[in-house]
Amino acid sequence: MKYVTSVERSGIEIGKKEHALSLVTRLLNRRVGNIDDTLLECLSGLSVEELDALGEALLDFSSMADLTNWLDRR
């Protein structure tokens, strides 16, 4: 088993977050329309776990209001 340094571990976590953010953003754009920069900034502040939860929750979204309500509740 290869030893993973803290720098490598940090890079892996950053990559996971970037991937999750990219996926959730694309899904939201298709589901509720284009995400403005303010909401995108809010999304980028979410953890990987929160992005995963949002990815599941967005299946029930029908408008941008659903997204803003979800963000307000978290």
Kindly give the parts of the chain with pLDDT less than 50: none
Dihedral Cα 33, 44, 7, 13, nearest 10 deg: -60
Give the residue extent of every domain in the chain.
6-73
The predicted structure's pLDDT at residue 24: 97
Q: What is the DSSP string of 25-58?
A: HHHHHHHH-PPPHHHHHHHHTS-HHHHHHHHHHG
Q: Could you tell me the pTM of the whole model?
A: 0.85
pLDDT, position 23: 97
> Residue 4: what pLDDT?
78
- Asked if 70 and 50 touch (Cβ cutoff 8 Å), the reply is no
